[in-house]
Structure 1
Amino acid sequence: MTTRIGFLLFPGFPMACLTSVIEPLRAANEISGTRSFEWRLIAEGERRVFSSAGIAFESDAALGDGEDLDYLLLLSAPGSRFVNPRSAALLRMLDRHGTTVGAISGGVFPLVRSGVVRGETLSVHWCYEAAFAAEFPEIRRSDEVIEVSERRITASGAAAAFDVALRLIDTALGPGVADEVACWFQHPMMRKAGVRQTLPLRQTAESGKELSPLVARAIRIFAEDLAAPATVADVAERLNITPRHLERSFKQATGQNPTAYFRHLRMQAARQIVMYTNDSIADVAAAVGYANTRPFVRQYRDAFGLTPQEDRKRINLYRTEGNLPVPSV
């Protein structure tokens, strides 16, 4: 039995996410001596699609060419939109006829825009989480590496896409082949559902060591709801320590007090929303806990050297001139 997988490519899609699925499937076919997996590259219109690295891929078919697929995985940058008004309806039709429609990395954005998501929880890369929450507040999202349900599969990035491929291999050919494929590529293990994404917690400047568990937990508590950010006192209370203890721990670990560190997180989230949505600056400010745009714009400029309006203009100019979204993971 052959599992047929289609990859719907949007301009600016992350190339690593595509190869991280295809290569282990190709290896599984070689190891097993079978054609257990087949794949096709699919585009909406133009047959030639450029990845985020500027490398062109020739698609095998256009969406709607009568695909007989077990899986259709969307690969895109967050800002990708359907260019064909029929595309969303075609995805919903495939979904109704039994194709598992899923997404990798920024592909969750057009996946939701297509209307196929019906209450499932989606894996959203931490780099896009704030922008995703701003555009789709009603959609359940998680910080797990992959999310799998009866009719949906989503992966947060390229390494997670490799895990999805191993999962397909394990189902079709058994754990022995899946393990051998992982060893071929020196992939340490197959991460299954329930594994959280690794976040780029800032390290101690002096030693380069990872942040202490206490400081890492404090950061996660603060990041739970940036629209209504917790105070230092709130975080300290949840950790059952004094605010003074928390201040000392942050200073020792990061060289900053927690207020400055938390402001950095809010600015990083704000920049996601500026880059990947068309929300007004007032809405961006509110999404990261600012009731007034003036201090928000001032702190954004302090963080990035330009205002949110200037940053968005710069990003849109790059997209127009380079025909590529930024960044893509």
Structure 2
Amino acid sequence: MSHRFNILLFDGFSNHCLANMVEPLRAANTLSRQSLYEWRFCSVDGESVQSSSGLAVTPDVALTDQRGDVLVVMPSYGFLQLGKPKTLRALLAAAKRHAQVAGLDTGSWLMARAGLLDGHQATIHWDELSRFEEAFPAVDVVQERYVVDGARLTCSGAMAAFDLALALVRKDHGPLLSMEVAHLFMSRGRSDHYALPMQTEDTLVNRALAIMQANLETPLSITQVARKAGCTQKRLETRVQADLKTTPQALYRRLRLNLARRLTEETEQSIAEIASRSGYENASAMTRAFKAEFGQTPSAFRNRV
């Protein structure tokens, strides 16, 4: 079942902030080949809004009666003038129809003005921290990139919105997909289809990831990967499980199949050649693994694309 986001935009919203929230969700859908997330753009009255850089957006719907998993509040510039009774009433009513409410950038201020952050830990754009803390003593204000406190989510700006989106993907669908989404946005479109190294927060796992990605066409055994990473196979298995909730074997297979998927989508190479470049001895073995991972054969995937 999809997680539904209703994104409440106000005049002066940040394009950067909006993209950094929505694009990771879109990427999670793309990488998983499932509709894990869906979103609608809203305004309080359904009327068109304009971003800080002049991009006009006609919302899908008015906020009235919209329900979902996450209501994202995105005012950005001009937020001090938005706390009018009509807007606050609409925000309070909408909060009751959503499991969580997220304030991006200065959205925290509007949430706090509506009383939605009382008793919660929250952050805001760091230029506003002192004023925010003084204005709302019932809020536990902290200087963090983003804060998840139960049903209340807040972040400090556009770049932090990306971090928050990744955190939501990680919570909903695990650390491996979250890492792959982050990796997708690090890609530089290299012509050889071998992307920049994936990274996680564990140094040892990063070493193993780099070794695996350098040896996709001729895979190593996990014992060899561990030896090159400077540890035992048992230690590597423990650290990968703790950090990515999977095994080194499954992680290595996922990396090889992700390469196969990119080659299938972006090149006209034969399935046999793709299998060879992905470390499979024959096309049949790669096709079986590809279907088990992505739910369809490489040929069917290519035709669909």
State the TM-score bracket (shorter-chain normalisation): 0.5 to 0.7
Structure-2 separation of matches of 1:118 and 1:83: 16
Q: Which residue of 1 aligns with 2:252?
A: none
CA RMSD of aligned residues (A): 2.2
Q: Percent of aligned positions with the same letter in both sequences?
A: 33
C-alpha contact 1:100 1:152 (8 A) present in aligned 2: yes
Q: Which residue of 2 aligns with 1:109?
A: 109
C-alpha contact 2:71 2:98 (8 A) present in aligned 1: no
Q: Which residue of 2 aligns with 1:179?
A: 179
C-alpha contact 1:167 1:190 (8 A) present in aligned 2: no
Structure-2 separation of matches of 1:164 and 1:39: 16
Instruction: Please list, as runs of the form range in 1=range in 2, the aligned pairs for 1:75-90 lying within 5 A after superposition.
Output: 75-77=74-76, 79-80=78-79, 81-82=81-82, 85-90=85-90
Q: Unpaired segments of 5 or more residues in structure 1? A: 192-329
Q: Which residue of 2 aligns with 1:56?
A: 56
Structure-1 separation of matches of 2:16 and 2:166: 16
Structure-2 separation of matches of 1:4 and 1:69: 5
Question: Offset of 1:107 from its aligned partner?
Answer: 0.9
C-alpha contact 1:36 1:172 (8 A) present in aligned 2: no
Q: Which residue of 1 aligns with 2:24?
A: 24
Going from structure 1 to structure 2, the CA distance change for 1:189 and 1:167 (only over 3 Å counts) comes to farther
**Amino acid in the other structure paired with 2:99:** T
Question: Offset of 1:6 from its aligned partner?
Answer: 1.1
Structure-2 separation of matches of 1:189 and 1:158: 21
Q: Which residue of 2 aligns with 1:11?
A: 11
Q: Which residue of 1 aligns with 2:47?
A: 47
Secondary structure of the structure 2 residue equivalent to 1:181: helix
TM-score (normalised: structure 1): 0.53
Q: Which residue of 1 aligns with 2:141?
A: 141
Going from structure 1 to structure 2, the CA distance change for 1:113 and 1:164 (only over 3 Å counts) comes to same
Structure-1 separation of matches of 2:83 and 2:95: 20
Higher radius of gyration, 1 or 2: 2
Higher relative contact order (CA 8 A, sep 6+): 1
Structure-2 separation of matches of 1:68 and 1:190: 34
**Amino acid in the other structure paired with 1:77:** S
Q: Unpaired segments of 5 or more residues in structure 2? A: 188-197, 202-305
Going from structure 1 to structure 2, the CA distance change for 1:109 and 1:20 (only over 3 Å counts) comes to same
Q: Which residue of 1 aligns with 2:71?
A: 72
Question: Offset of 1:139 from its aligned partner?
Answer: 2.4
Question: Offset of 1:189 from its aligned partner?
Answer: 6.5
Instruction: Please list, as runs of the form range in 1=range in 2, the aligned pairs for 1:89-104 lying within 5 A after superposition.
Output: 89-104=89-104
Q: Which residue of 2 aligns with 1:220?
A: none
How many corresponding residue pairs? 190
**Amino acid in the other structure paired with 1:44:** V
**Amino acid in the other structure paired with 1:60:** D
Secondary structure of the structure 2 residue equivalent to 1:148: strand
Structure-1 separation of matches of 2:85 and 2:58: 22
Going from structure 1 to structure 2, the CA distance change for 1:83 and 1:58 (only over 3 Å counts) comes to farther
Question: Offset of 1:100 from its aligned partner?
Answer: 0.7
Going from structure 1 to structure 2, the CA distance change for 1:78 and 1:110 (only over 3 Å counts) comes to farther
Structure-2 separation of matches of 1:72 and 1:158: 17
**Amino acid in the other structure paired with 1:182:** A
Instruction: Please list, as runs of the form range in 1=range in 2, the aligned pairs for 1:277-296 lying within 5 A after superposition.
Output: none
Question: Offset of 1:168 from its aligned partner?
Answer: 1.7
Instruction: Please list, as runs of the form range in 1=range in 2, the aligned pairs for 1:199-214 lying within 5 A after superposition.
Output: none
Cα shift readout 1:66-104 (whole Å, capped 9, x = no counterpart)? 212100111112642448744322322333344311201
TM-score (normalised: structure 2): 0.57
Going from structure 1 to structure 2, the CA distance change for 1:12 and 1:98 (only over 3 Å counts) comes to closer
**Amino acid in the other structure paired with 1:105:** D
Question: Offset of 1:140 from its aligned partner?
Answer: 1.9
Question: Offset of 1:29 from its aligned partner?
Answer: 0.3
